Amino acid sequence: MTLGLDTPSPRSTNLVGPLHMLELQAARPIAKDSLTVILPVTSDTLPGLEAALLFLSDYSSLAEVVVLCPESLLSVGRAILRNTVSDYSRAQFTLQSWPSGTSQAHALIHAASQVSNDHVVILEHGSLREIPHVVRDLLLRATAVSLPVGAMGFGASLLGDGEQCLLASDSPQPASYLVPPLVLPSSLLTDNGRPSDALPKDWRSLGIWIAERRPDMVGGVVVAGHELDDAWCLQKKNDTQDTVYIDDPNVYPALDAYSAHLPDSLLPPSNTSAVQSRGTFGIFFRSFDDLLSFSPAACYLVNSGHVLHILLYLEEKSRSLLDGMEIVTEQCSLQYRVVAPSTSSATSPCELVVSAWLDNFSRPVDVLIALSEEDDYTRLLPRAIKRQRYIDPVLVQLSRLDLPYCDWMGSLTLEEWRNWNKIRLDISVITDNRPASLARLLRSLAEARYFGDDAIRLRVNMEQTADRETLDLVENFQWGRGDVYVHHRIVHGGLLPAVVESWYPSSNHSYGLLLEDDVEVSPLFYAWIKLAILRYRYGEETNKSPNLFGISLYQQKNVELRPAGRQPFNARQLFASAGLAPHSPYLSQIPCSWGAVYFPEHWREFHAYLPARLAHPMDEPIVPDVRSSRWARSWKKYFIELVFLRGYTMLYPNYAAFASLSTNHLEAGAHVKHQPRDIFDKKKAMFSLPLMRLPDENASAVLETGLLDLPGGHLPPWGDLPVLDLHGLLTSEEEIERRGLERRSALFNCSESVRPYDAQELLCVDTLPSVVEISGL
């Protein structure tokens, strides 16, 4: 008898056999409304999407259907969703992007890790009609087991000559790995309920990932009742190789069969660069002055090939909805429409105005930019958006006070805009008994621009010796951007634990800004942080690197780690002499302690690295030829070790005249001793930097912040960023990684590859210490 997963199975307390067989025999059906289907689509299979969606909408057990679509086809995909799926469908249908340059397997596995339901069905990019009906029933009426189940997989050949294709037979077969279509528990791709930091990127790696976590070393089970042959197996193996999907204008003729169902405006453009960057933006402001303030960013978007729809809701009640109104600047002309507040007594007239405006777009809107200040219109925006089924734009709400300083936002790519709301900044302030310094830092934080973000957590970490004035200052400080947490030590810890314990990430979208109290920040510091994180953490895949551990606000004016001592440093002079763009930001291995954001994965690794390192003293320095090896109580000493062994880097700004997003006032404390005034002033001049200030609103109607004084007017591609080592010398990513690997091998006598962010494997230790005493440092 063939055992399919939708076949009722016997329940017995005396079951015997392999673990996977026991699970199958005892399995119960997956709970209703706990199944998500992920359906990838390419330009070749887009004509079949409508039929696939209609088929899936008939399954009442589905909670969600995710359509994974290349960026170039997102607008078409949205239109198909709107025109196909009934409002009465029980499942929720959503659209996600499949970035160009990403393999099908990688995109599917990543999408599966993001779902909230218990089980995921992963389909292939071919038509659903090509999947035998028994296999479809197997997947969509599955039972709940703890490993992947599907119609086809691969295992070790009995002849030892590679992989054997496994098709369903009379009994379930354990496999090394499965290929789609398959069903698996979403918990396999998470750690403690959140997506894993190091997901597999192909089906073989996924099988190994799963097998390593099971006592029976099984990566999946092939089970179904159907008739398939080796030719089908070979075809599916070829189809599911780790190929990369790349947008290509030559594929669009394949849409001809479907184009008759769509307006011309919904078909993708033929230019490749436009395909990757073009999006539809809705801008919804209250007045002409709002639009004029935002016009530098709006013009940047227009000149980058995006489509803008602009609606102003003016206060003059005599005005009605008009076309053809225009604002002309030196950068571009912006067409906008105007609507006056309605005097109608109808229910929610403002909501209907917004809904009608959104309905009038020829393309579904990708990003909707509006004001954060609440009025009759903005209060109803979320509800109006919900009325537009399958239009799920990113809603970006900006304070009117921030609009004059938004020019940098125009340089964001569409993919970066889509991730606007994901970033969560935690600000950690470390202080002891310098109330005047603390007051200056808190004032600079309060006066900074946050561009509508209102979920910024502030944590003040006070040492046991904090004086009464400091305690009163913290107690009375008003922070209007998010939650405030206050931590007061009862045992003096010193600067190392004060910094290291000041923050710990709550998720991989949580970023920690660490600020000692003698630091002051620019009013534009948050814009720099968001601009850089969106580009190098959430943008195109080619701009992402696991080796980037943070973003510095402070510009380097000195290099402090050379054996001969501290030396003046000027990045612009260095780059100009090397034939590089003098004004490019750059990557440096030196971690900044005078205002910097640290990334969640790397800070967790440091929290594991530090106790392991302290529990294993070294007879010789881990990092050769740097002054930090002699530092006794500095947390940076140990972070520099981690950076060196890994080949990590931090992004630094590089604006003219050392204009910085933070500065250090070099006040007496743990590392700065009291000195005669003339000596102290001379030393302070070596480190104090001019803060980047807000542009003067009286100087011009259209302002520029200076944040885009960059090569090409935007942050460079990752591969174009100069790389500096710990001595401030030009090098390459490959070279600093090679140095770290060689040093690790020489020190620890191990050369095995290391999993990302795994401090235990990095130090070649079997276990991490459970207790470490650091008070004696």
pLDDT digits (tens, 9 = 90+) for 725-760: 999 999 999 999 999 999 999 999 888 888 899 998
pLDDT of residue 727: 96
pLDDT of residue 526: 98
pLDDT band for 377, please (50, 70, 90 cuts). Answer: confident
pLDDT reading at 672 higher than 60: no
DSSP code, position 72: G
pLDDT reading at 716 higher than 60: yes
Q: Note whether 603 and 675 are within 8 A (CB).
A: no
pLDDT of residue 738: 96
pLDDT reading at 158 higher than 70: no
Average pLDDT of the chain to the nearest whole number: 82
- pLDDT tens column, 117-154: 888 999 876 556 566 666 777 677 777 888 898 888 88
What is the Cα–Cα distance from 425 to 248, expressed in whole angstroms? 37
Burial of 447-485, coded b for 16+ CB within 10 Å and e otherwise, reads: ebbbbbbeebbbbbbbbeebeeebeebbeebeeebbeee
Query: Domain 31-189+196-239 - what CATH class?
Result: alpha beta
Helices (H), 578-707: 600-615, 635-646, 677-685
DSSP code, position 717: P
What is the Cα–Cα distance from 452 to 720, expressed in whole angstroms? 31
Residue with the larger pLDDT of the pair 422 and 262: 422
- pLDDT tens column, 511-552: 999 999 999 999 999 999 999 999 999 999 999 999 999 999
pLDDT of residue 153: 86
Q: Note whether 91 and 59 are within 8 A (CB).
A: yes
pLDDT of residue 225: 52
Q: Percent of the chain scored above 90 by pLDDT? A: 44
Mean pLDDT confidence for 53-70: 81
Q: What value, to the nearest 5°, has the Cα angle with vertex 252 and ends 248 and 258? A: 150
pLDDT reading at 443 higher than 50: yes
Which range of 157-171, 246-260, 444-458 scores highest in mean pLDDT? It is 444-458
pLDDT of residue 774: 54
Residue with the larger pLDDT of the pair 140 and 388: 140
Strand ranges, E, within 170-275: 173-175, 177-178, 182-185, 190-191, 194-195, 220-222, 244-245
Residue 197 identity = D
Helices (H), 124-248: 133-140, 203-211, 230-239
Q: Note whether 626 and 640 are within 8 A (CB).
A: yes
pLDDT reading at 113 higher than 70: yes
pLDDT band for 45, please (50, 70, 90 cuts). Answer: confident
pLDDT band for 640, please (50, 70, 90 cuts). Answer: very high
Phi, psi of 44 (to 5 degrees): -70, -35
Which range of 56-60, 367-371, 702-706 scores highest in mean pLDDT? It is 367-371
Q: Any idea which of 11-20, 188-197, 284-293, 737-746 has the lowest mean pLDDT?
A: 11-20
- pLDDT tens column, 228-276: 555 556 555 554 444 454 444 343 333 443 444 444 433 443 333 333 4
Residue with the larger pLDDT of the pair 426 and 679: 426
Mean pLDDT confidence for 174-201: 78
pLDDT reading at 493 higher than 60: yes
pLDDT reading at 409 higher than 60: yes
With CA atoms as reference, report the closest residue to 598 among 531, 500, 525: 500
pLDDT reading at 164 higher than 50: yes
Q: For 701, how many CA atoms within 13 A lie in the half-sphere containing its CB?
A: 10
What is the Cα–Cα distance from 332 to 749, expressed in whole angstroms? 62
- Is the domain 424-762 a CATH 3.90.550.10 member? yes
Mean pLDDT confidence for 385-389: 67
Q: Note whether 173 and 166 are within 8 A (CB).
A: yes
Q: Percent of the chain scored above 70 by pLDDT? A: 79
Helices (H), 337-395: 349-359, 381-387
Q: Kindly report the three-state secondary structure assignment for every residue of 403-438.
A: HHHCHHHHHCCHHHHHCCCCCEEEEEEEECCCHHHH
Burial of 597-631, coded b for 16+ CB within 10 Å and e otherwise, reads: bbbbbbbbbbebbbbbbbbeeeeebbbeebbbbee
Domain with CATH 3.40.50 in the chain: 279-398
Q: How many helices (H) and strands (E) does the chain have?
A: 23, 35
DSSP code, position 660: B
pLDDT of residue 7: 33
Q: For 382, how many CA atoms within 13 A lie in the half-sphere containing its CB?
A: 4
Using the structure block, give the residue that is written with the tokens 């600047």.
329
Q: Note whether 559 and 483 are within 8 A (CB).
A: no
- Is the domain 279-398 a CATH 1.10.287 member? no
What is the Cα–Cα distance from 706 to 715, expressed in whole angstroms? 13
- pLDDT tens column, 272-293: 333 345 889 999 999 889 999 9
Largest distance between two CA atoms of the chain: 92
Domain with CATH 3.90.550.10 in the chain: 424-762
> What are the structure tokens assigned to 210, written together?
């799963």
> What are the structure tokens assigned to 433, written together?
């008994």
What is the Cα–Cα distance from 318 to 682, expressed in whole angstroms? 65
With CA atoms as reference, report the closest residue to 447 among 556, 537, 525, 529: 525
Residue partners of 699: CB distance under 8 A and separation at least 6:
none
Mean pLDDT confidence for 198-209: 86
pLDDT band for 660, please (50, 70, 90 cuts). Answer: very high
Residue with the larger pLDDT of the pair 29 and 412: 412
- pLDDT tens column, 566-581: 899 999 999 999 999 9
pLDDT band for 103, please (50, 70, 90 cuts). Answer: confident
pLDDT of residue 146: 84
Which range of 267-281, 295-309, 676-690 scores highest in mean pLDDT? It is 295-309
pLDDT of residue 452: 94
What is the Cα–Cα distance from 649 to 730, expressed in whole angstroms? 13
pLDDT reading at 171 higher than 80: no
- Give pTM, 2 decimals: 0.72
